[in-house]
Structure 1
Amino acid sequence: MTTARHRPTQDGSTPPRATAPCDDECCDLVTVPARQGLEAVDILRRGAGDTIGPVLHDGSCDTLGFLVPPGTADAWDLPGSACTQTFGRGPRRSAEPDPGPAVPEPPVAGTGWLLPPDGESGPVTDPAVLRAALGQAARTIEAADNCR
């Protein structure tokens, strides 16, 4: 049973048009329904240490995306979520000058940062830690829904 009100789609994490070779900013993207993703963010932020990397939201705020190490998509099989390759596009710096702190552009078009890369946390979220948090989030949501 999943807590998803809808299944995540590839449209929410469409890869860029041009494929670039992977470099030190390469990552994959795990997308989940926003409710489960927000609960997982809370779980990860309450955890010990820096266990959460950058997190994206789509334009309609239906899904959240967690940046994970490259290669995660090859073995990701958590029901109610999807993992796609960003094809060598991790967080990238904006070409426009910005007088404030530099916040890189999201790696996927049509998204924004819920938690931008800040240099303090790791560049990506550990997939095993994310999987555990998403499982706990699903159980928490299911328990809350059953109390109604």
Structure 2
Amino acid sequence: MPSPLPRRTPEDRIRRATVADGASSFDGFPPIDWIKDTGAPVSPVLVTWAAGQCAVLPIGICWDVVRLPIDTGSEALRQLHALGSTIGPAIASLDSVEVLVPVHSADAWDLPGCSVLQIGEHLVAPSPLFGAPSGVDGRTWLHRPGADCALTNGDDLYAAFAAALATVSEETAPSTSPRGRP
């Protein structure tokens, strides 16, 4: 009878993630530099993810988070993609899209329906292994963090969200005939 495969320890996972972090594309191992940059201890984050749970990461040290309603947030990301803009990590939950942006790049946002999460707040993040449509606790990555740690430009996201608000409101407005009758 063949011997069972050895169980991987958290240290094995961390070592493999460190090796994989140098790769230029997602290969099933989470890049860890973006975790290190937050100041969060890497080992507990990886152990939490290995247990199939979301990890809590501090916001405001290396990135802020813009939380958008799910419909307009998804439309804003679609518009950014269509324009060829860089889209950094983004998480979808049941009612929102959370986009990682450079620190302070969304400080002056004044559009309705959005909120900016900054220092002192936390991102609840599933493992980058969970991209749409799968997820953990109703959260999934729409755009996974990459080894390059690229973030979405705050000004580009603002413009795309403003356009998405207009698009969604046009789609939900009652249509009228040329004579003003529904």
Question: Would the alpha carbon gap of residues 115 and 19 (structure 1) be closer, same or farther in structure 2, given more than 3 Å must change?
Answer: closer
Indicate the residue corresponding to 1:125 in structure 2. Answer: 152
Question: Would the alpha carbon gap of residues 90 and 124 (structure 1) be closer, same or farther in structure 2, given more than 3 Å must change?
Answer: farther
SS in 2 for 1:66: strand
Question: What amino acid sits opposite 1:34 in the alignment?
Answer: I
Q: Deviations over 1:13-44 (max 9, x none)?
A: xxx5x86993xxx2100001100011111101
Partners of 1:144 and 1:132 in 2: how far apart? Answer: 18
Bigger share in helix: 2
Structure 1 gap segments, 5+ residues each: 1-15, 95-102
Question: Would the alpha carbon gap of residues 116 and 91 (structure 1) be closer, same or farther in structure 2, given more than 3 Å must change?
Answer: farther
Partners of 1:146 and 1:65 in 2: how far apart? Answer: 26
Indicate the residue corresponding to 2:101 in structure 1. Answer: 68
C-alpha contact (below 8 Å) 2:59/2:117 kept by paired residues? no
Question: What amino acid sits opposite 1:40 in the alignment?
Answer: A
C-alpha contact (below 8 Å) 2:59/2:123 kept by paired residues? no
Partners of 1:66 and 1:90 in 2: how far apart? Answer: 10
- What is the RMSD computed on CA atoms of the aligned residues? 3.4
Question: What amino acid sits opposite 1:131 in the alignment?
Answer: Y
C-alpha contact (below 8 Å) 1:41/1:52 kept by paired residues? yes
SS in 2 for 1:72: coil
Indicate the residue corresponding to 1:78 in structure 2. Answer: 111
Deviation at 1:123, TM superposition (A): 1.8
Match of 2:77 among 27, 34, 41: 41
Question: Would the alpha carbon gap of residues 91 and 62 (structure 1) be closer, same or farther in structure 2, given more than 3 Å must change?
Answer: closer
Larger Rg: 2
Indicate the residue corresponding to 1:115 in structure 2. Answer: 143
Question: Would the alpha carbon gap of residues 36 and 20 (structure 1) be closer, same or farther in structure 2, given more than 3 Å must change?
Answer: closer
Q: Deviations over 1:97-137 (max 9, x none)?
A: xxxxxx379xxx963311112347x6211110000000110
Structure 2 gap segments, 5+ residues each: 1-55, 131-135, 176-182
Indicate the residue corresponding to 2:89 in structure 1. Answer: 54
Deviation at 1:75, TM superposition (A): 2.8
Identity score, percent: 31
Deviation at 1:57, TM superposition (A): 1.3
